[in-house]
Structure 1
Amino acid sequence: MKSITRIIGATRELWPFFLGIVLCAVLTSAASLLAPFIISGATDTVVNHLKGSAPTTGAIIVWLAAAYLAAQLVSVLTTNLGGYLGDIMSQRMRTILSVRYYEKLLSLPLPYFDSELTGTIIARLNRSIAEVTQFVKTMSNTFISLVLTTVSVIVISSLYYWPLGLLLILIFPVYFWLTSKTSSKWQVWEGQKNQKIDLASGRFAEVIGQIRVVKSFGQEERELTRFKTLFSDTISLTATQSRFWHSMDVARLSFLNLIFFGLYLLIFLRTLAGDFSIGDMVLLIQLLAMAVAPINSLSWIVDSAQRAITGSKDYFDVMERESDPRALAITREGAPEYTQPAAITASEGQELVRFEEVSFGYDGEEDVLHKIDLSVKRGERIAFVGESGGGKSTLMSLLEGLYDPRTGSVTVDGMDIAGSDLTQVRSLIGMVFQDPSLFSGTIAENISYAQPQASREQIIEAAIKANAHEFITKFADGYDSLIGERGLKLSGGQKQRIAIARAILKDAPILILDEATSALDTKAERAVQKALEELMQGRTSLIIAHRLSTIARVDRIVTLKNGQIDEIGSPDQLAASGGIYAELLELQNSGGKTIAKKLKNFDIIG
């Protein structure tokens, strides 16, 4: 129960709801316990009247019946009021835990997401938190009242005849002991099932997100078989788990029935001996019936608790991971949706970006960048050229603070990214990638993603500069047109121009262009290139492997080879140096299929 205690401790602001639920549980238990006493009194009254020992009137019976009705109505009212509070509390708890989980994910460094499937992360949110809150809801709505009722039954039974109370008390430790015998094995099986389900859910989300690829390669049956296998494995695990659980349940309930056999036998024998009246016997039988309900429910409650405990382990596994302290400002409560880029202190021509002796490798992998030493001046246009996988995009990821170098430092306008507020650093950088990475929603929402408070006029102005306004206005709803998940309703060129408009509206002084036109046809590329030229005006631009015609118009070219800088110079200088760039120019001028293939190895389109 330690995990559940942690959950409750993490949502301590819900204590007024807990207090209200406990109060309702006390009143419900009191009203429920009052009913057997009323029935006992009515029974003795009727029996004594029939025996002639204590004649009574119908009015007394009516009052007793009315008292019973009142007790039942109070029980109904307090039970439902407690249920209402439990429902609200559990939903608020789910909201709190979900928001904190989301906030934690947003603060985790990017390497965490490199090793996790998106669907698995989502499955944990839906499963772990749902199981925990469902258990808390069950506990608050029923368990507290059942516990109070059971304790009261034990006390009252002990007052009438102490062996009754002793036998009732004996039930619980033995029952819990038998239940605990199943706990450790049960949790292992449940954890294995959750792992299978999370893998299946993760793959499910991935396949649906890449459904065009799956269908294009005819892999529907393969993916279905994999999905079916993972869920089929949970059936065998459930069979083993359930067989063990119910076998233990037979032992628990057999012991329970044996104890209740003794309890009822004692009550009947004491009544025959004249120690109990008929009313007393009826009272004790009803009290025992009230004790049976929580005991019978105990295995179900423990089952729910085990699911919640297993689920909470996955939740806390994420929550206990180390956040990137620089990203905490992004998720702090009340943080603004938009951070105005800071004024750059570097003047035109002065150093703005600096890579100093930077080496980097992904977790568990060898370095892909080695001793990168590069200075970028404000207003410069620099192109990065090298073989595919040579570290060009990785270098840009370091500049964005998505990863930290293993050695060396990356600075922007004098700020060392490793120790700076990432919100401020990233406000200085605009990005346009090969994949535009649009969100479902409207065109206007996507353009204003980095500046949500932008006016419609500002959005339109950015779209005009991005050469996107004309095609946007042809849609029936214009800027309010829904574009589908990841912009599926748009062509590649249209999506890219919206991404460029987004970067224009952000108006960041540093621009990263990561293969922004390589996936487009010639016509779309021309439209996008015109927008890119508008975007690069007055900005420090870092460009990765566009067409050679684009690279030729930059101030400097940096060639990367085996994760190291091979050459740095102007296009004219490197064209005559005999290095990678000169080789690419020669390959392009030579033409032919073999040459085109070699160009592709360098992420270059001739």
Structure 2
Amino acid sequence: MKQLGRIMAFTKKLTPYYVIILVTSIFVTAANIVVPFIIGQATDTAVAAANGNTPVGQAVTTALWLAAAFLAIDVLSTVTSSIGGYFGDVMSQKMRAILSVRYYEKLLTLPQGYFDSELTGTITSRLNRSIAEVINFAKSFANSFFTTLMTVVAVLIVSAIYSPWLALLLAIVFPVYLWLTALTSKRWQRLEGEKNEEIDLAGGRFTEVVGQIRVVKSFVQELRELKIFSHRYVKTVDVTRDQSRHWHWMDFIRRAFMSLIFFAIYAIIFVNTARGNFSVGDMVLLIQLIALARQPIQSMSYIVDTAQHAIAGSKDYFDVMALVPSRRPALADSMSSEGVPDELVDLISDDDESQPSHPTSPSSVEIREEAAGDVAVSFEHVTFGYDDDPDVLSDVSFTISRGERVAFVGESGGGKTTLTSLLMGLYAPRSGEIRVFGRDVSNMHVGDLREEIGVVFQDAALFSGTIRENISYARPQATEEEIVAAAKRANARKFIEGFHSGYDTLIGERGLKLSGGQKQRISVARAILKDAQILVLDEATSALDTRSERQVQAGLESLMEDRTSLIIAHRLSTIATVDRIITLKDGRIDEVGTPAELAQTDGIYATLLALQNEGTKKAKKSLKRYEIEH
């Protein structure tokens, strides 16, 4: 029940809804309790008239008034129940919104390492499954729990008036039933956790395969993927068999115990009626009251079942919510200005322990203005490794001046891309300092840091939607003129305007309707429009053919104007005009110098340059093999 308490605390801003549901439940319960009294009174009236103890006309009048009272109570109960149901539905959907948005916000603040070790589909499946199970419980809880609880209390009180033995037996049923349920819970939840893990893994693989469907089909691996997916769900069936067998055996024991108790209750009612202690109307009243008490006991299995699903599901949810973000962007502070409805912002903004506070950070302009000297980027004795793996970078130090173009060259796994990931704050170094415009990035807001950096990846990484939306991704408020100007500078305007819908052309998931060169030029236009002071080019042309490379390179030359540029490239043609080259070997800096200086050494760059300039078939083959392997 601790997990359910955490859910209630996490959604405490829904308290007004809980109160309304409670009030309507009280009224519905009162109506349910009054109805047996009306029917009991009507029964006694009819029996009295049949025995000649009451005039028929008087009995008919009384019966009609009782029927009218029944109608009025039934109508009011229906209206009140509908009101409670309405607020229950809205409450459950708002709870879904709160839990979903907070989960999404948490994901956006988690360090890159979390996503390195989790499948995208698993993260998505966890969101859908966990929150769906919590919401199902919330709806059943809102629609029946309060009514059930108050009905039981009322029936106990009324039964005690007629017979203490009736109240005693009813009082025994509930705690014993709950105790038997508790015996079931521990094993059931463990098995549910195993099943959830298989479902999440299956969902993760499903999303991954759909995203890579061309690869699957190209290598004719449809059957293999289907077997992997099916195997996960076969395991859930096996777990469910064990789980269900255990649950229903315990449920049989609970129901058998309940049947014995109600046998004794009905025996007391019938015997007392036969002896004249209860009237026929009293008997009818008590039978209906007992039925009111028995119904919630029988439905308790469903409530407990949904509660256990919610507990198991919410565990996965709160495991994610308990993760510590590296440096949380001020997402909640800017939500209302980013188009999120104010009502939802009010609901999800909260001062709880899962949302750590952060100091106010100066703007990007202020960062640049207060930075002294001409140094844009500096690494000072930086050492880094992933998780518990060995160091990828060891004692790396260098500085890059404002407006300087610096290329990084080295073998595969030498740490080139890792350097840029550290610069963007995707990971934190094990030791050393990284500074941007004189400020230690560990003391900067992630949002402010990344505002300073524009990136063009090897994979263009576009989103489904239009060309316009992708170019303006970093600046959604950009004008038409600014978008067109960025496309022109990226050498992309001609092909974009060649489409029937121009900038409103839908490009499909990850831009699959575009060629590699077209996607990359849109990526360059996106970086141009962002207008960041520091530019990272991570093998931005390595996946392109020669013609596409030239077109993209023209856009990159425009992009690099008046910017500090960090370039990772294997093709020497893309780094021939840089100011300096830094070569990396085994995670350490090997050489630093201009292209002309490094061409005279025996290092990596000189070796590659010699192979390229030799021009022989053997040299070209060696150069190509190096580019592929490194």
TM-score normalized by the length of structure 2: 0.93
Q: How far apart, in 1, do the equivalents of 2:395 and 2:322 lie?
A: 33
Matched, 1:531 2:555: yes
1:597 Cα deviation from its structure 2 partner:
5.4
Which residue does 1:362 correspond to in 2? 386
1:553 Cα deviation from its structure 2 partner:
0.7
Which residue does 1:151 correspond to in 2? 153
Which residue does 1:453 correspond to in 2? 477
1:143 Cα deviation from its structure 2 partner:
1.6
SS at match of 2:537: strand
SS at match of 1:327: coil
1:61 and 1:331, CA in 2 relative to 1: closer, same or farther beyond 3 A? Answer: closer
Amino acid at match of 2:523: A
Amino acid at match of 1:22: L
Q: How far apart, in 2, do the equivalents of 1:369 and 1:169 lie?
A: 69
1:286 and 1:519, CA in 2 relative to 1: closer, same or farther beyond 3 A? Answer: same
Q: How far apart, in 2, do the equivalents of 1:581 and 1:64 lie?
A: 99
1:75 Cα deviation from its structure 2 partner:
1.7
Contact 1:548 1:604 in 2 (8 A): no
1:333 and 1:554, CA in 2 relative to 1: closer, same or farther beyond 3 A? Answer: closer
1:333 Cα deviation from its structure 2 partner:
4.4
1:488 and 1:165, CA in 2 relative to 1: closer, same or farther beyond 3 A? Answer: same
- Cα deviations by residue, 1:352-387 (Å, 9 ceiling, x for unpaired): 110000111001210011111101011111111011
Q: How far apart, in 1, do the equivalents of 2:423 and 2:310 lie?
A: 41
Q: How far apart, in 2, do the equivalents of 1:329 and 1:219 lie?
A: 44
Amino acid at match of 2:254: R
Amino acid at match of 2:43: T
Contact 2:44 2:279 in 1 (8 A): yes
Q: How far apart, in 1, do the equivalents of 2:321 and 2:625 lie?
A: 41
The percent of aligned pairs where both chains have the same amino acid is 57
- Cα deviations by residue, 1:180-208 (Å, 9 ceiling, x for unpaired): 11100000000000000000000111111
Pick one of 539, 545, 560 that aligns with 1:515: 539
1:596 and 1:142, CA in 2 relative to 1: closer, same or farther beyond 3 A? Answer: farther
Q: How far apart, in 2, do the equivalents of 1:16 and 1:284 lie?
A: 36
- Cα deviations by residue, 1:238-261 (Å, 9 ceiling, x for unpaired): 011001100111111011111111
Equivalent positions of 1:60-139 (< 5 A) are 60-139=62-141
Which residue does 1:42 correspond to in 2? 42
Pick one of 258, 265, 268 that aligns with 2:267: 265
Q: Is there any run of 5+ residues in structure 1 with no aligned partner, and where?
A: none
1:348 and 1:165, CA in 2 relative to 1: closer, same or farther beyond 3 A? Answer: closer
Which residue does 1:307 correspond to in 2? 309
Structure 1 window deviating more from structure 2 (346-355 vs 293-302): it is 346-355
Pick one of 402, 427, 436 that aligns with 1:412: 436
Contact 2:424 2:450 in 1 (8 A): yes
Which residue does 1:8 correspond to in 2? 8
Q: How far apart, in 1, do the equivalents of 2:616 and 2:209 lie?
A: 37
Contact 1:357 1:409 in 2 (8 A): yes
Aligned residues: 605
Pick one of 554, 578, 581 that aligns with 2:602: 578
1:543 Cα deviation from its structure 2 partner:
0.5
Equivalent positions of 1:290-439 (< 5 A) are 290-324=292-326, 326-334=327-335, 341-342=364-365, 344-345=368-369, 350-439=374-463
1:74 Cα deviation from its structure 2 partner:
1.6
Amino acid at match of 2:333: R
1:433 and 1:477, CA in 2 relative to 1: closer, same or farther beyond 3 A? Answer: same
- Cα deviations by residue, 1:452-472 (Å, 9 ceiling, x for unpaired): 110011000000000101100
1:565 and 1:53, CA in 2 relative to 1: closer, same or farther beyond 3 A? Answer: same
Contact 1:381 1:554 in 2 (8 A): yes
1:388 Cα deviation from its structure 2 partner:
1.4
Which residue does 1:246 correspond to in 2? 248
SS at match of 1:360: strand
Q: How far apart, in 1, do the equivalents of 2:279 and 2:628 lie?
A: 99
Q: How far apart, in 2, do the equivalents of 1:150 and 1:595 lie?
A: 88
Amino acid at match of 1:221: L
Amino acid at match of 2:55: P
Contact 1:353 1:377 in 2 (8 A): yes
Which residue does 2:529 correspond to in 1? 505
Amino acid at match of 2:117: S
Contact 1:349 1:378 in 2 (8 A): no
Q: How far apart, in 1, do the equivalents of 2:403 and 2:102 lie?
A: 41
Which residue does 2:350 correspond to in 1? none
Q: How far apart, in 2, do the equivalents of 1:190 and 1:347 lie?
A: 55
1:112 Cα deviation from its structure 2 partner:
0.9
1:14 and 1:117, CA in 2 relative to 1: closer, same or farther beyond 3 A? Answer: same
Matched, 1:471 2:495: yes
1:600 Cα deviation from its structure 2 partner:
4.7
Q: How far apart, in 1, do the equivalents of 2:7 and 2:129 lie?
A: 15
Which residue does 2:347 correspond to in 1? none
Q: How far apart, in 2, do the equivalents of 1:349 and 1:578 lie?
A: 34
Amino acid at match of 2:296: P
Contact 1:382 1:543 in 2 (8 A): yes
- Cα deviations by residue, 1:1-42 (Å, 9 ceiling, x for unpaired): 111111111111111110100011001011111111101000
Which residue does 2:237 correspond to in 1? 235
1:334 Cα deviation from its structure 2 partner:
3.4
Q: Is there any run of 5+ residues in structure 2 with no aligned partner, and where?
A: 340-361
Contact 1:517 1:546 in 2 (8 A): no
Q: CA RMSD in A?
A: 1.8
